[in-house]
Chain A
Amino acid sequence: MNLTEYLTKRLKKRKILLMTHVVVGYPSLEANWKMLEAMGGADVDLVELQMPFSEPSADGPLFVKANQEALRKGIRWQDYFDLMKRASEQFDFPVLMMGYCNTAFSMGFEAFCANIRRHCGEGFIIPDLPLEEFGELFKLSRDQDLDPIMLCTPTNSEERLQKICSHGSGFIYCVARKGVTGQNTQLDLAVENFLRQCRQYTDLPLALGFGLSQREDLCQLHGKAGIAIVGSALLKTWEAEGESGYRKHLISLAAARE
């Protein structure tokens, strides 16, 4: 079963799916594992593991700090892939690589795809790699059965959305608002229109990300998006309330799927 089929099947039982995010190495690999256990416990549908990078230009302040701290602790590629493999083997949810293109470029696109496959990842999300710069990466990811996740944003022209969607694989990542991760999004008409626009150009599930934090945000998306992405809001909870608060937050989000 490929990623799209997995998501479509789950969407038959749930009004929306939940994708969560972990910055590998922040606050620590041990804490990451506890987060992943909580995600497993809440039956999260999909998880993106972020490979830390020194110049995380598409991230907001909290994730920037997380990237930086993870690197300061000495997180290397091997630590990242070890965690990816352990998580994929231990939990039911599929795992995606999220990171910046210098990681893929430095590793070599071929080794990058081979590494994700070998450590049981299902695809990758690289926000600073527009499709024009993919080159061989489309073919290489097909060879390894990986889904390169495409990003659409409300500033894109119709033509651009169409082009991005035509390269889509797995699902389409719709960026809800202008800007970077970690700020609140009013789920207004503009967002709805944007999702409707994307829907015109693809049959793949639409994931909505950037700024979602509460179960209400997810409920509002029923019938509008297929997947809700919650990233920095959960990390914020971990920082403020620790593991138990984190678990509660996750459970409340997970409940918003029914």
Chain B
Amino acid sequence: MKGQLTSQENVRRIYLQIIKQKIERYNFNSMSTQTITPDVSGYYGEYGGMFIPEILRTTFDELVAVFTEAKADPEFWQSYVDVMQSYSCRPTPVTLLENFANSLGGKFQIFCKREDLNHTGAHKANNVMGQGLLVKRMGKKRIIAETGAGQHGVATATMAAKMGLECTVYMGSVDVERQRPNVFWMEQLGAKVIPVTEGTATLKDAINAAMRDWAESLETTHYVLGTTCGPHPFPEMVAWFQSIIGQESREQMLKLSDKLPDRIYACVGGGSNASGIFLPFLEDESVELVGVEAGGHGLDTGAHAARFSGGSVGIAQGYKTYFFQDDEGQMLHTHSIAAGLDYIGVSPILSHLHDQKRIRFTAATDEAVISATKLLIRTEGIIPALESSHAFASVVEEAPDIPDGTQVLINLSGRGDKDIFNIAEAIGDEKWQEFLQTRALKH
């Protein structure tokens, strides 16, 4: 009897274990990607929505349908992971930054997630390859994109080359001037780069121009938006693809140190790299999430891009969020040393989590960013993108108050060596200037 019961119990135990594993796997799968979904109208709390012209309604409805279907299809996610492994070095490593931490004098550990090691050098690759797979699913042949610094433009042009799509990139004419090397690469990759002269001739104007193109080309064309902004479903979609960052980080941190990090820092432009690393940790209440905006010349100067300090709630470019705008809702100029953070709006997902106080927001000035960049290069041999350096600059600034034993994780969203023109200029390297002059004389 006893033996029988035991064996029955055993069977039951094994059975329960299998179910538990299944549940765990299921939980893992759902937790491993995004853990926040908008309501049916595309709202995160009070933010988001779909403020689109009627002409685009059907296209957005289609996109929502295709994305919803893809999101529910584990094979789609797997095909995405496969592409990212074979084409973009995923999973990207987590690196312990001992020297950097030591130089700050703290008794804490700093890890960084190496999104700089992605193909094309930034987390932007995650989003564009994911959207590329969706374009294939939709059967469209042409893609358009906006770009500020050119990072997203280069990533999109790369994806287009790889996936055999026709590609047009809209870029503010001011940015075309500032970012010639990226324009060069986009053109080499086969993309058509169209300079946008209206407005401030920067990122926001490139978005307007891309939307206008889409209003005419919607049947054949998909708009590959570069960040977690714009009308629903873009914030959700981009965050979903980017959440591969946080998913990997979570596993890697558990493997490296048997526990979750205590704090995670990420820079915030439109919010895609921050959403990507934050969202899979959203339900881990012990993990403090810190978003770092562009402090520019300082928050009291007005010359910055810290929407949560100097912005107010508004509706533009198809969604509701915190914008950098005047008292009559006209958008203002933003400033940042990092072109990728130089934008008027911010992800509605982050605005919601800001109001919920789940994410703490701070800002780093241009000056602090330059010195953090130099420090990271010297102590760790890692050259960060100026955008990513904002996260490092905040850690440097907050270091004296970080408790002993804390584990800090920083999202290194992109690498800086391809930004040599901008970083050399930001650092003010005289030999580089001489070099440029000599080269200029030759032409």
Contacts and interface: CB of A to CB of B under 8 A. Distances in A.
A183 B134 CA distance: 31
A105 B314 contact: yes
Given A55-B317, A105-B314, A132-B41, A155 B55 contact: yes
A155 B317 CA distance: 20
A129 B51 contact: yes
A102 B315 contact: yes
Contacts of A164: 54
B292 to A, nearest CB: 26
Interface string A123-152: 000011110110000000000000000011
B437 to A, nearest CB: 36
Interface string A72-86: 000011000000000
Contacts, number: 106
Interface string A105-135: 1110000000000000000000111101100
Interface string A47-66: 00000011111101100110
Interface string B313-335: 01111101000010111110000
Most chain A beta carbons < 10 A, residue from B56, B59, B330, B331:
B330
B198 interface: yes
A125 to B, nearest CB: 12
B330 A54 contact: yes
B294 to A, nearest CB: 20
A183 to B, nearest CB: 9
A100 B53 CA distance: 10
B199 A68 contact: yes
A156 B208 contact: no
Contact of B331 (A54, A151, A152): A54
Most chain A beta carbons < 10 A, residue from B49, B50, B208, B325:
B208
Interface string A24-67: 00000000000000000000000000000111111011001100
A156 B57 contact: yes
B219 to A, nearest CB: 9
Contact of A65 (B198, B314, B328): B198
B54 A55 contact: no
Given A55-B316, A133-B49, A155-B218, A102 B329 contact: yes
Interface stretch (B101-109, B209-217, B357-365): B209-217
B53 A128 contact: yes
Interface residues of A, number: 39
Nearest to B323: A102
A102 B204 CA distance: 15
Interface in B251-283: none
B299 interface: no
Contacts of A71: 330
Nearest to A59: B212
Nearest to B213: A179
A132 B328 contact: no
Most chain A beta carbons < 10 A, residue from B54, B212, B218, B329:
B54
Contacts of B36: none
A102 B316 CA distance: 6
A57 B317 contact: yes
A206 interface: no
Contacts of A180: 212, 215-216
A57 B231 CA distance: 13
A105 B198 contact: no
Nearest to A101: B315
B129 to A, nearest CB: 27
Contact of A179 (B54, B215, B318): B215
A226 to B, nearest CB: 19
B174 interface: no
Contacts of B57: 130, 153, 155-156, 160
Contacts of B198: 61, 64-65, 68
B54 A156 contact: yes
A113 to B, nearest CB: 16
Contacts of B59: 155
A168 to B, nearest CB: 13
Contacts of B50: 130, 132-133
Given A178-B215, A179-B212, A153 B54 contact: yes
A253 interface: no
A6 to B, nearest CB: 25
A179 B213 CA distance: 7
Interface in B154-203: 198-199
Contacts of B316: 54-55, 100, 102
A2 interface: no
A165 B331 CA distance: 32
Given A61-B198, A106-B329, A133-B49, A153 B55 contact: yes
B51 A130 contact: yes
Interface in B45-64: 49-59
Nearest to A164: B54
Interface in B205-234: 208, 211-212, 215-216, 218
Contact of A54 (B54, B199, B211, B320): B199
A55 B204 contact: yes
A71 B200 CA distance: 12
B328 A175 contact: no
A77 B330 CA distance: 11
B317 A53 contact: no
A116 to B, nearest CB: 16
Contacts of A100: 316
A153 B49 CA distance: 20
A96 B41 CA distance: 29
Interface in A152-192: 152-153, 155-157, 160, 164, 175, 178-180
A143 B331 CA distance: 30
25 contacts: A53-B330, A54-B316, A55-B204, A58-B215, A60-B212, A100-B316, A102-B325, A103-B328, A105-B315, A106-B328, A107-B328, A130-B52, A130-B57, A151-B53, A152-B54, A153-B53, A155-B56, A155-B58, A155-B59, A156-B57, A160-B54, A160-B57, A175-B55, A179-B55, A180-B216
Given A128-B315, A130-B50, 10 more contacts: A55-B204, A57-B211, A57-B318, A103-B329, A105-B329, A151-B53, A151-B54, A160-B54, A178-B216, A179-B215
| Among all A-B residue pairs, the 3 with the closest Cβ atoms | A106-B329, A179-B216, A102-B329
